[in-house]
Structure 1
Amino acid sequence: MTTDSFEKTSWGWQISLFQQQVGEWFEYQLSRFDATLPELPSGWSIDPWFISLLKFLFWLGLGLFLAWLVWQLWREFSPYLYSWLARGSNLNNSDAKVQDNELSVANLLARSQEFYRQENYREACRCLYLAMLQHLHEKAILPHKKSRTDGEYLQLLGLSRPQIQPYETLITTHERLCFGSTEILPENYEQCQQAYQEIVNS
């Protein structure tokens, strides 16, 4: 086996080295702190287990802080990350372009008006909901994702949009359409249409 095949470094070794350096720094700071203290009675010293406990608490605190920081960053930037990834994957996807043309916002709004004239308020509201999703997709706010639920849409929009109420109106109406037996009235359609206009104008 030649010497070139040996690893010169590894993550485990780097982490171990970092821990050692932090531990040495910590011990150095404690020794400086000890120097400023008054003389202690002979034979008195800090127990090694107490030093070990302090080191453990330090690493635990640092680990919890880093986990919290990563979680906050994920909550803040995940909608943008999803949007960026979806844009990249849709650049060369002609099927997605065809689907976008078939489900354009203008087509969905026209279908919504047609259902409204036929007094089919359930389908009219559903088309407004789909127009909202298409609007979010086209504006690269939230890309289409078949597995995403209404609750997930609300959660992601709550993180990225300052005004959530119009989205909430359309999404809760859609949930009532899918999972409830509540009758959808003309007033419900008008609320959905007003909410959609607020989304487009925002």
Structure 2
Amino acid sequence: MSIKNTIVMGNNTWEKTTWEWELYLFNQRIQQWLEYQYSQLFKNIPENSRFSISEQILEILQVLFWLILVLFLAWVIWRLWQEFYPGIYTWWKNLNSRFGHPLIPDSPPQLSGNFLLAKSQEFYHQGDYQKACQFLYFSMLQQLHERAIALQQPSRTDGEYLQLLLGNVASIQPYETLITTHEQLCFSNHKVSAENYQHCLHSYQELFNSP
């Protein structure tokens, strides 16, 4: 049950829920702040020479304030999503692998194959070869999806991807290298070395960097 506040204005009673009341108060504070800034801006001007700030101007300024605030919050959320999504993606992937064959969730459109490849190389330079190989594998899947060779499906396992590729690609060996490495990462305590990553990267380049 929500707590309610009652605002009495003249003969009218305005009943609002707590969050609406807080929003109203915040809006009032913004208006007071704008009026204060206006008064400070013209404090050296004689009172009779000032022009009064109208209600319409206050409303326009409030709308502009909320618009800027919303745009700023949207930008912050977008930056946080770009920064933390790869880690969440990896965690979700590993969680799925504990309950059976690893499942491949659909990659969001903004996470292109090239973006995932760049993240892989970033992890490699940090010395995290396990994540570097994982993101190389994710990049392979996204490249296949973007080129309509094998569309990503949440229910499709690594083995099913391999079966699908057998009838659609000229050389299966590079795919086997990347998929097998990924399965080892999901189902065993296999430690990945820099040499393992370079081997996987070579297979990836055979698939997508050849002319």
The TM-score normalised by the length of structure 1 is: 0.49
| Greater share of strand | 2
Higher relative contact order (CA 8 A, sep 6+): 1
| Greater share of helix | 1
The TM-score normalised by the length of structure 2 is: 0.47
